[in-house]
Each structure stands twice: as C-alpha cells, then as structure tokens.
Amino acid sequence: MGEPEIVAEAKDRQGHMQLSLKRPQLKYISEFLGLDCAVDVLQSDLFPNGKEITETMAVYDAVRKHPEFDQQDEDITMVSVGDGSTPRTAGFFAYMTHWQCISVDPQLNTEGKHDEINRLRCIPERIQQQSIEADRVVLTAVHSHADLQESVDVVDAEEILVVAMPCCQDLSLNDREPDKEYADWGCFSPERTIKIWHLDKNMTTGENGE
C-alpha cells in the first residue's frame, strides 16, 4: 500500500509559513478533448459535468494499465456497478473498447441518447439481482453504493479485474486487500482513491499489471 500520500506541506520561509497544497491535474480533461469519440460521448448525454468525466477516465486509465485485458478483444465483458442515472462508465468503455458493456443501477434511465451506443446494455436493477457469465470480466465501481463483494459474487468468470473508486460506501472484498491502491490526481473529486483486484476463477488474487 505504501506510505500515506502528502497532500499539504508547510515550510518556514524567513519567519513566514508557506503552505503548499496538491491540486488535481488536467490530464484527463486534455485527453478527453483529443479523443475521436469525444463529440459522440458528449452528444450521448452520459456525463452531467467535467468532474464525472475525470472519475470515469481515472478508472479507465487503471484498466488500460492491464494490457492482458485487450481493448480489442470482443469476448471480454465489462460491468459497471452503480453508474447512476446514465450509463456513464459503461457507455464510455463501449466507445473506447470492443467489449460487451453492461451498466447496472436501479436508478438508471434506460431511455435517452445513450440507447444507441453499440455494445451497451442497460439494466435498471440492483447488481445483486443479476447473474453474469463470461470468460473474462472487467468490473468497475465508480462511487458505487452497492456492496463490492456482493457485486463480484454475481459474476461467474475465469478471470475478473475489479477496479473501484470508493466514496461514502467502503468498497472492499472480504478478507482480501487490493493488489494496488493509489490516489489519482487527474480526478477532480475529493474521493479519488483507486483500488484494484485481479481475481481468477476461485477468487484468488492473480498477477496485476502496472
């Protein structure tokens, strides 16, 4: 896990205290504006504001650091738990990958401009009501209120990559520490911690990419 990250530092400068605060970077906003699909994403009304874009892109960045989950592989299924009223993260992954993308949230609005996004399925129900079978699954939880262990338990897959960004709900797996945990300062939210688990069929931790 490493040492706690320093976000503020005070130094004595000739009788005065100089306070330095770490602030979010614009890297994801800049990257988003350069995407070929940026206009389509915005026209799909997936995101209500720029902060939400950076949250999803921080999770997307964590996933793409695992090249074993090839973005061109059509056999991979992506499940976004707790997307909100729009399929934000699942919709973005549908634009950025060739995966089958599923958004699950009881508050999900299934009607809107996003219903024309290829390979995107919207389920306005609780994740605990689902049964998902696939060879390989990427499961994301961006500020989700659903229990993370219960979310993983509904997935029957040979391999699962779990990427969570907790907010008010403690997103953890039972008796299993994350393979990696860090704060992503490209995310314009105070809740910017990323947790990653790489699991095999028996829910044992596998090798995690960087």
Answer whether residue 9 is part of any domain: no
Answer whether residue 91 is part of any domain: yes
Answer whether residue 140 is part of any domain: yes
pTM: 0.86
What is the DSSP secondary-structure string of the chain?
--SPPP-EEEEEETTEEEEEE----SHHHHHHHT-TTHHHHHHTT--SSHHHHHHHHHHHHHHHT-TTS-TT-TTEEEEEE---SS-HHHHHHHHHSSSEEEEE-TT----SGGGGSTTEEEE-S-GGG--EE-SEEEEEEES--S-HHHHHHTEE-SEEEEEEE-SSS---BTTB--SEEEE-TTS-SS--EEEEEEEETTS-B-----
- Tens digits of per-residue pLDDT, 110-138? 888 888 899 999 999 999 999 999 999 99
Answer whether residue 160 is part of any domain: yes
Q: Which domain holds residue 79?
A: 26-200
Per-residue pLDDT band for 168 (boundaries 50, 70, 90) equals: confident
**What's at 84, amino acid-wise?**
G
Answer whether residue 209 is part of any domain: no
Backbone angles phi, psi at 23, to 5 degrees: -130, 155
Answer whether residue 103 is part of any domain: yes
CATH of the domain at 143: 3.40.50.150
State yes or no: pLDDT of 31 exceeds 50.
yes
Answer whether residue 10 is part of any domain: no
State yes or no: pLDDT of 78 exceeds 60.
yes
Answer whether residue 71 is part of any domain: yes
For the ranges 2-6, 15-19, 122-126, which has the lowest average pLDDT? Answer: 2-6
Tally of domains within the chain: 1
